[in-house]
Amino acid sequence: MRPISTDLPTKPKNIEILPALPSFSSSGRTAPKWMVRNTYAHPIAGRLLAEVLHYEFSIVWVDQASGLPLRARPDLICPGERGKVRVVDFKTTRAVDLTDFQRDTAKFGYHRQAAWYTEAVELFGYDIEAFLFVSVNKTPAHEVYVHRLSPDALQLGREENDLARLELARRLAEDDWSNPAAAEIHELDLPQWAYPPLEIKAKGQTISV
């Protein structure tokens, strides 16, 4: 991996850097020691931590389309290939496999967070090679995985962020916080698993479906 300069690039006039105090857990809680040890011992996650250029700093800017003041605070910015950088975010999780973490990424909007952070880092003057999630399992044996978010997921996150900002700007301007769906009656049913299984008798046998 080719190292790149740790000097900050010249920032645009509408970008501001705010200092941050490093901490492994941004929530202030102490992470279990094996989660920390396994992260530093991981061949990829440990190298990212060892080669970090910038650690938990805030970037503040004004969105051109919506006029909203925005802020991002990436966990790590690390050197990548050919002078580019990798933006890294740490996630504690109970996901047991890649499918579970994919589901969490969609459910909790991690792709939107990644798009938000990459936009901020690009505005600050860096070319981005990849956005990486480092997932650390909360349960023993506290396994650590590194995930590269796909370009398609990042693009979807950008599009959803753009729409959300415009909608927020509109609501702020019009002081409109209504929800049209709240004025309707919605049909409510139980999930299918809450009902007893349907039994079908065929050829002397009872089959539950």
Helix H or strand E segment including 199 = strand 199-202
Measured at the CA of 136, the angle between CA 22 and CA 75, to 5 degrees, comes to 30
Contact present, 120 and 165 (Cβ < 8 Å):
no
Structure confidence by residue, pLDDT tens digits, 89-138: 999 999 988 899 999 999 999 999 999 999 999 998 999 999 999 999 99
Domain 16-178 architecture: Alpha-Beta Complex (3.90)
Which pLDDT belongs to residue 31? Answer: 59
Mean pLDDT of the chain: 85
* Distance from the Cα of residue 110 to its chain's centroid: 3
Look up the pTM and report it: 0.76
Query: DSSP H helical segments within 25-133, as ranges?
Result: 33-41, 45-50, 98-107, 110-123
The interaxial angle of helices 151-174 and 110-123, nearest 10 deg, is 90
Domain boundaries, the chain: 16-178
List Cα–Cα distances, 111 to 86, 89, 126, 174, in angstroms: 15, 11, 19, 29
Give the pair of three-digit tokens for residue 71: 């802020």
Give the pair of three-digit tokens for residue 172: 């702020």
Lowest-confidence region among 81-90, 105-114, 164-173, 194-203: 194-203
Measured at the CA of 27, the angle between CA 26 and CA 32, to 5 degrees, comes to 90
